[in-house]
């Protein structure tokens, strides 16, 4: 559905003038996704060998249609890295409205600082010997949207409920001292102050190194002293931070966070209607959402196709800005050292179950059937197998050729929509 909306309204002059070049390229990729504009590849049936041509997908990280398999693979890979018997805290970091506005103008600088500051604050405080005194594992994911597509940058973190103490070579559980020994990571006021200090330092350092570039658009960036005073005044703003203790199994939290991995702003399932001819060609898009205040009540929002794409495109991140980051025990440098040591220690602490007598593996039942193939990929000839991509058969047109093909597809779809509109009238 989003691809059809992008093809219908993505080249409108009133929209293009509001977008950055990388946002326009992403919308063009989404519009071309799964159409001949992305090229064609050959698929072959796994049962009868029948072949067919199918369009390539765009592979853009902002495309909602291309990331389903990546999300499933991400959750599966993280599940394999879980530490035995260790839960997760779920932490959320936000920024005040003034920082949100600055992030819209300079997303690469401000959003990178948001990710770094939130992780640095947690890791530094957890390493403090007066607190946890250990290295925790941390995965953080950047979100920039609310459910109704408004701009709201924030970071979700999953943090291990404990950490590895390399000096004592043991695992330290994150619990509150005392009789109750409830899960406890860090006091919120201390974490908020550390997060603010680190965030301010990163923004000032970026300003001093000229990373903000053109500062005319923001009066608060007129000079370093003005920017410093502006940030100092924001300390009293709304820096909302929350930490949720471990609940359920770690797999539940991974699946919750995994639903938002490699997704931008909205799921295609939430778009319920699209009329490309409404509003004198500006189109009409209807989608559903729920609020945090009343999550069980589904609300409906209607906007023109151009306004919908503008709201969607503001959440397309600049190139090379990594929105999923692994820190602490899960960073690349520690995966083969501290993480493996922690896993071995935790496995050694678990009670050893008595070995059960070996039994021969059960023979496959004659009544068991192979898994059902995806209906969309089921062979139309034999009805038994599924189509699989044939390697080496997916040439892609260059960007110029793709633009020409996309223009032709748009013209064809608009002609068909106009004919349908006249027929209904």
User: What is the span of the domain harbouring residue 108?
Assistant: 68-265+315-330
Question: Per the domain annotation, does 360 fall within a domain?
Answer: no
Residues 115 and 254 in one domain: yes
Kind and range of the H or E element at 132? none
Residues 394 and 420 in one domain: yes
Cα separation, 163 vs 89, whole angstroms: 12
Residues 130 and 202 in one domain: yes
Question: Per the domain annotation, does 359 fall within a domain?
Answer: no
Residues 41, 53 contacting (CB under 8 angstroms): yes
Residues 217 and 90 in one domain: yes
Question: Per the domain annotation, does 80 fall within a domain?
Answer: yes
With a cut of 80, say whether residue 250 has pLDDT above it: no
Cα separation, 142 vs 361, whole angstroms: 45
Question: Per the domain annotation, does 371 fall within a domain?
Answer: no
Question: Per the domain annotation, does 361 fall within a domain?
Answer: no
Residues 203 and 187 in one domain: yes
Residues 223 and 92 in one domain: yes
Higher pLDDT among residues 312 and 398, named by residue? 312
With a cut of 80, say whether residue 363 has pLDDT above it: no
Mean pLDDT of 69-87: 81
Residues 24 and 149 in one domain: no
Question: Per the domain annotation, does 295 fall within a domain?
Answer: no
Question: Per the domain annotation, does 342 fall within a domain?
Answer: no
**Predicted pLDDT of residue 350:** 78
- The model's confidence at residue 280, banded by pLDDT at 50, 70 and 90, is confident
* pTM for the full predicted model: 0.86
Residues 123, 267 contacting (CB under 8 angstroms): no
Residues 31 and 166 in one domain: no
Mean pLDDT, the chain, whole residue set: 86
Residue 101's CB: how many other CB atoms inside 10 A? 14
Most trustworthy range by pLDDT among 135-139, 293-297, 348-352: 135-139
Residues 84 and 56 in one domain: no
Cα separation, 66 vs 318, whole angstroms: 18
Residues 325 and 393 in one domain: no
Residue 206's CB: how many other CB atoms inside 10 A? 17
Question: Per the domain annotation, does 92 fall within a domain?
Answer: yes
Count of structural domains, the chain:
2
pLDDT per residue as tens digits for the range 367-410: 444 445 466 778 888 888 888 888 876 778 888 898 999 999 99
**Predicted pLDDT of residue 398:** 86
Residues 5, 305 contacting (CB under 8 angstroms): yes
**Predicted pLDDT of residue 353:** 53
Place of tokens 């205040």: 293
Residues 185 and 237 in one domain: yes
For a pLDDT cut of 90, what percent of the chain falls above it?
47
**Predicted pLDDT of residue 46:** 87
What are the phi and psi torsion angles at 239 (to 5°)? -100, 80
What are the phi and psi torsion angles at 195 (to 5°)? -65, -45
3-state secondary structure of 290: coil
Place of tokens 């490699």: 262
Residues 16 and 81 in one domain: no
């Amino acid at each position: 559905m989003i691809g059809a909306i992008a093809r219908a309204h993505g080249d409108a002059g009133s929209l293009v003038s509001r977008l950055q070049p990388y946002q326009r390229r992403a919308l063009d990729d989404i519009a071309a996704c799964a159409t001949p504009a992305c090229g064609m590849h050959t698929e072959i049936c796994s049962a009868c060998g029948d072949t067919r041509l199918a369009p390539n997908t765009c592979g853009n990280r902002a495309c909602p249609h291309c990331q389903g398999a990546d999300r499933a693979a991400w959750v599966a890979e993280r599940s394999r890295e879980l530490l035995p018997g260790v839960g997760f805290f779920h932490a959320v970091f936000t920024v005040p409205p003034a920082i949100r506005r600055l992030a819209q103008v300079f997303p690469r600088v401000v959003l990178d600082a948001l990710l770094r500051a939130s992780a640095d604050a947690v890791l530094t405080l957890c390493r403090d010997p007066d607190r946890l005194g250990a290295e925790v594992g941390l995965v953080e994911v950047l979100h920039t949207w609310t459910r109704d597509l408004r701009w709201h940058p924030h970071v979700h973190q999953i943090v291990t409920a404990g950490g590895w103490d390399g000096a004592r070579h043991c695992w330290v559980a994150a619990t509150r001292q005392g009789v109750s020994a409830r899960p406890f990571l860090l006091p919120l006021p201390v974490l908020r102050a550390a997060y603010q200090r680190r965030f301010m330092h990163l923004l000032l350092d970026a300003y001093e190194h000229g990373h903000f570039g053109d500062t005319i658009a923001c009066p608060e960036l007129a000079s370093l002293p003005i920017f410093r005073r502006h940030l100092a005044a924001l300390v009293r703003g709304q820096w909302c931070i929350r930490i949720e203790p471990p609940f359920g199994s770690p797999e539940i939290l991974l699946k919750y966070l995994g639903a938002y991995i490699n997704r931008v702003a909205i799921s295609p399932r939430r778009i319920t209607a699209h009329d490309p001819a409404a509003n004198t060609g500006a189109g009409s898009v209807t989608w559903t959402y729920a609020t945090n205040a009343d999550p069980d009540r589904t609300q409906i929002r209607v906007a023109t196709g151009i306004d919908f794409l503008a709201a969607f495109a503001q959440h397309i991140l600049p190139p090379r800005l990594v929105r999923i980051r692994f820190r602490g025990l899960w960073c690349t440098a520690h995966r083969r050292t501290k993480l493996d040591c922690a896993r071995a220690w935790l496995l050694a602490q678990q009670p050893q179950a008595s070995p059960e007598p070996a039994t021969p593996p059960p023979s496959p039942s004659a009544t068991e059937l192979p898994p059902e193939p995806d209906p969309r990929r089921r062979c139309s000839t034999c009805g038994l197998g599924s189509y699989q991509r044939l390697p080496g058969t997916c040439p892609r047109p260059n960007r110029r050729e793709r633009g020409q093909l996309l223009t032709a597809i748009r013209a064809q779809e608009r002609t068909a929509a106009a004919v349908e509109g006249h027929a209904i009238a």
